[in-house]
C-alpha cells in the first residue's frame, strides 16, 4: 500500500510525457464493427445475451490490480462464458510498441486520464455503449475522456480535491478550521496559526514541478478552466490562473507555507511536528495519515476545499484514470462488458470500493465517477480511523459533486512541466511574478509543444 499510494499516482503520471508524445504518432487501424466509414470507430456492444470468448486485460501491478482481480469471479457469475486473462503489465513501457506493431494487443487497458488524448486515434469511441450512463457520470470525467466529440475511456475514479488539516494542532493554537469557506479565509487561518506557532509554515507548497502543475490544475478545475480548452488552445493567460498563482505567491511572500515534495521525508517531518497543518490535495492524500504518519496519525481531518468566491465550487479534480479499449483488441466488445460491470453494476463497484481482501475497510483513496455509486448516503468504504473516525465518504462525495466540467487533457500536458511546472517553482523561489509565469510559460508551451504537433 505504501508503494501504491506514495508512488502510483504521482510516479505513473510523471512518465506521461514520453508516452503521450509518442502516442501522437499512432494511427488508428483497428477492426470495424459497422459498415459506415463514419461509424467504423464506434464500438458496439455484443448482441448475444450470454456472449462467449476470451479477453485480455492489462493493469499495473499493485493494490488496484489485486482489487480488480478479486472482482473477476463476480463478473463471471453474470457472464460465465467470458474468460478474463488479467495481466500485470508495465503499461507505460509496453503499450506504445504493442499498438505500433499490432501484436498481442490487449482488449482493455487501465490508463491515466492525462494520456487519453495522445492515444485517442488508436482507441474505440465508446459513445454508443456509454450512452445509457453518461447522464450519471461526473461531467469532469466525461470531459477529460472526450476528444473531437468521441468518448475514448470508461471513467474509473473521481479524485476530488480536499483540504486536509491537523485538527489537533489547530485547536491547540485556537484556530477554527471549520470556519474556512474561501481561500481568503485559509490565508487568515494560516496567519493566525503562524502567529500562535512562530516558525511554522501552515500551508503546503508543492516543490515538485510535475505535482505543482497537477495541483495548479486542481485549483483551476474549481474555477471551470484548465491549461487548454476543448480544442487544445492555451488559456493560461487569464484572470483565473493569475488569481491562483497570486494566492500561491502570497503564501510564499508572507512565509505561510512549507515548501516540500509530496510525502518525502521532509514533508512528513513537517506534518508530524505541527509546522505544516493545511494540505490542499486530492483525496489520495488520505493515505498519509493511514500509513505514513505516526505521531499525528489521528489528528488529521478532511473538508471540502475552500471556494475561490463565497458560494462557489468547493472542489476541483486532481488526477484520475480510466479504462480504454484498443481498436486492435480482438474482443474489445467483450472487454466493454467487463468494464461496464466494474463501473456501472452495483455488484461490481461495490466490490471495487467496498471492503475486500486488499482493503478490509474499503478503497478510500478515490470515489466512483459514476454518480449513483457515489451516493453520500450509501457509503462504500468505512469511516477512516486515521482521520479520527471521520466519514471521509460523505466529505469526498459531496465535494466531488461540486467539481465543474472540464476539457480533455492535451497530449502535450506532461511536456508542459518543463515550462509551466518549472516556472511555478521559480515563482516560489521569488524569481518570477505570477504574470511573468503565465506569459513566459504560454510562449514556451505554444512554441515548443503546441506548434510542433
Per residue in 409-421, pLDDT (tens digit) is 888 898 999 999 9
Model confidence at 7: pLDDT above 60: no
Q: 375-411, pLDDT tens digit by residue?
A: 999 999 999 999 999 999 999 999 999 999 988 888 8
Confidence of residue 6 (pLDDT cuts 50, 70, 90): very low
Model confidence at 11: pLDDT above 60: no
CB atoms within 10 A of CB 451: 8
Position with higher pLDDT, 15 vs 68: 68
Packed helices 239-253 and 420-428: angle between N→C axes, nearest 10 degrees? 40
Nearest residue to 137 (alpha-carbon basis) of 161, 123, 107, 158: 158
Residue 40: per-residue pLDDT: 73
What single string gives the DSSP state of each residue in 263-332?
TSHHHHHHHHTTS--EEEEEGGGGHIIIII-STTTTTEEEEEPPBSSTTS-S--B---EEEE-BTT-TTH
Q: What is the pTM of this model?
A: 0.89
Residue 49: per-residue pLDDT: 84
Residue 408: per-residue pLDDT: 85
Residue 33: per-residue pLDDT: 41
Domain 161-317+405-450: which CATH class? alpha beta
Residue 39: per-residue pLDDT: 58
Mean pLDDT of the chain: 91
Query: CA 172, CA 197: separation in Å to the nearest integer?
Result: 10
Mean pLDDT over 124-133 rounds to: 98
Residue 175: per-residue pLDDT: 98
Residue 257: per-residue pLDDT: 98
Helix, strand or coil for residue 101? Answer: helix
Q: 148-183, pLDDT tens digit by residue?
A: 899 999 999 999 999 999 999 999 999 999 999 999
Mean pLDDT over 363-377 rounds to: 97
In DSSP terms, 109 is beta-bridged to 58, 324
Packed helices 239-253 and 183-196: angle between N→C axes, nearest 10 degrees? 0
Model confidence at 453: pLDDT above 90: no
Contact partners, residue 17, CB within 8 Å, separation at least 6: 414, 415, 417
Mean pLDDT over 320-345 rounds to: 97
What single string gives the DSSP state of each residue in 57-77?
EEE-SSHHHHHHHTTHHHHHH
Confidence of residue 301 (pLDDT cuts 50, 70, 90): very high
C-alpha cell at 219: 485549483
Confidence of residue 118 (pLDDT cuts 50, 70, 90): confident
Query: CA 151, CA 377: separation in Å to the nearest integer?
Result: 30
Packed helices 16-23 and 91-101: angle between N→C axes, nearest 10 degrees? 10
Same fold, 2-158+320-382 and 161-317+405-450: yes
Residue 411: per-residue pLDDT: 83
Model confidence at 32: pLDDT above 70: no
Residue 9: per-residue pLDDT: 36
Residue 38: per-residue pLDDT: 54
CB atoms within 10 A of CB 289: 24
Position with higher pLDDT, 12 vs 271: 271
Nearest residue to 176 (alpha-carbon basis) of 16, 303, 39: 303
Q: Give domain 2-158+320-382's CATH number out of 3.40.50.150, 3.90.1300.10, 3.40.190.10, 3.30.1360.120.
A: 3.40.190.10
Confidence of residue 140 (pLDDT cuts 50, 70, 90): very high
Model confidence at 432: pLDDT above 60: yes
Domain boundaries, the chain: 2-158+320-382, 161-317+405-450
Amino acid at each position: 500500500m505504501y508503494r501504491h499510494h506514495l508512488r502510483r499516482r504521482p510516479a505513473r503520471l510523471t512518465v506521461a510525457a514520453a508516452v503521450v508524445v509518442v502516442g501522437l504518432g499512432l494511427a488508428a487501424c483497428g477492426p470495424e464493427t459497422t459498415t459506415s466509414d463514419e461509424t467504423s470507430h464506434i464500438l458496439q456492444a455484443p448482441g448475444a445475451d450470454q456472449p462467449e470468448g476470451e479477453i485480455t486485460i492489462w493493469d499495473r501491478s499493485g493494490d488496484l490490480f489485486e482489487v480488480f482481480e478479486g472482482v473477476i469471479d463476480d463478473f463471471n457469475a453474470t457472464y460465465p462464458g467470458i474468460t478474463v486473462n488479467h495481466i500485470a503489465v508495465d503499461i507505460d513501457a509496453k503499450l506504445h510498441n504493442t499498438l505500433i506493431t499490432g501484436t498481442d494487443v490487449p482488449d482493455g487497458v487501465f490508463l491515466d486520464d492525462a494520456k487519453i488524448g495522445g492515444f485517442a486515434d488508436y482507441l474505440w469511441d465508446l459513445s454508443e455503449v456509454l450512452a445509457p450512463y453518461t447522464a450519471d457520470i461526473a461531467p469532469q470525467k466525461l470531459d477529460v475522456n472526450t476528444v473531437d466529440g468521441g468518448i475514448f475511456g470508461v471513467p474509473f475514479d473521481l479524485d476530488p480535491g480536499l483540504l486536509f488539516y491537523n485538527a489537533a494542532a489547530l485547536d491547540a493554537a485556537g484556530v477554527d478550521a471549520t470556519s474556512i469557506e474561501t481561500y481568503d479565509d485559509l490565508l487568515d487561518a494560516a496567519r493566525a496559526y503562524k502567529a500562535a506557532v512562530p516558525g511554522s509554515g501552515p500551508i503546503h507548497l508543492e516543490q515538485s514541478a510535475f505535482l505543482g502543475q497537477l495541483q495548479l490544475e486542481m485549483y483551476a478545475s474549481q474555477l471551470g478552466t484548465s491549461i487548454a480548452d476543448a480544442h487544445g488552445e492555451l488559456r493560461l493567460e487569464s484572470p483565473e490562473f493569475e488569481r491562483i498563482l497570486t494566492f500561491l505567491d502570497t503564501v510564499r511572500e508572507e512565509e505561510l507555507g512549507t515548501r516540500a515534495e509530496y510525502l518525502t521525508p521532509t514533508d512528513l517531518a513537517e506534518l508530524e511536528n505541527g509546522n505544516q497543518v493545511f494540505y490542499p490535495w486530492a483525496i489520495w492524500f488520505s493515505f498519509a495519515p493511514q500509513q505514513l504518519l505516526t505521531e499525528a496519525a489521528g489528528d488529521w481531518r478532511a473538508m471540502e476545499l475552500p471556494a475561490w468566491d463565497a458560494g462557489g465550487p468547493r472542489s476541483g479534480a486532481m488526477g484520475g484514470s480510466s479504462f480504454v479499449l484498443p481498436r486492435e483488441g480482438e474482443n474489445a466488445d467483450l472487454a466493454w462488458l467487463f468494464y461496464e460491470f466494474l463501473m456501472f453494476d452495483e455488484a461490481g463497484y461495490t466490490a471495487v470500493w467496498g471492503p475486500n481482501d486488499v482493503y478490509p475497510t474499503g478503497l478510500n483513496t478515490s470515489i466512483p465517477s459514476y454518480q449513483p455509486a457515489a451516493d453520500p448516503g450509501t457509503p462504500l468504504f468505512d469511516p477512516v480511523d486515521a482521520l479520527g473516525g471521520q466519514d471521509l465518504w460523505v466529505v469526498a462525495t459531496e465535494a466531488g459533486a461540486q467539481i465543474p466540467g472540464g476539457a480533455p487533457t492535451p497530449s502535450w500536458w506532461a511536456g508542459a512541466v518543463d515550462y509551466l511546472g518549472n516556472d511555478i517553482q521559480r515563482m516560489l523561489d521569488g524569481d518570477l511574478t505570477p504574470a511573468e509565469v503565465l506569459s513566459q510559460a504560454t510562449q514556451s508551451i505554444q512554441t515548443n509543444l503546441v506548434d510542433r504537433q
